[in-house]
Amino acid sequence: MKYHRDRERRNRFAEKGNQLKLVIDSDLCQGHNRCYALAPELVDVDDYGQAFALNDGEVPAELEDKAALIVDNCPEFAIKVESGE
């Protein structure tokens, strides 16, 4: 599985009809809530501040840049975007 950091590669990937999936490692998450602040369309937090992916982690094409943003801004490296490529 690969995460395409640069937009051009992600666009080519999406054109092939591939679905990106957001995965949050609950063991790494420390509840900073940065991800929720940046992309409430993709993640939510529970009563303890632990983040979890919405919509089974599916990332709509129009939110792929936001998914990349929260991957880059998680200080615990707890967020990944995976594909079935």
Q: E strand or H helix at 81, and its extent?
A: strand 79-82
Q: Which is nearer to ligand SF4, 20 or 35 (CB)?
A: 35
Q: Is 2 helix (H, G, I), strand (E, B) or coil?
A: coil
Q: Does 74 bind ligand SF4 (CB under 6 A)?
A: yes
Q: Which is nearer to ligand SF4, 18 or 34 (CB)?
A: 34
Q: Which is nearer to ligand SF4, 59 or 79 (CB)?
A: 79
Q: Which residue pairs, CB below 8 angstroms and at least 24 apart, start in 9-12?
A: 10/64, 10/68
Binding site for ligand SF4 (CB under 6 A): 24, 29-35, 51, 74, 76, 78-79
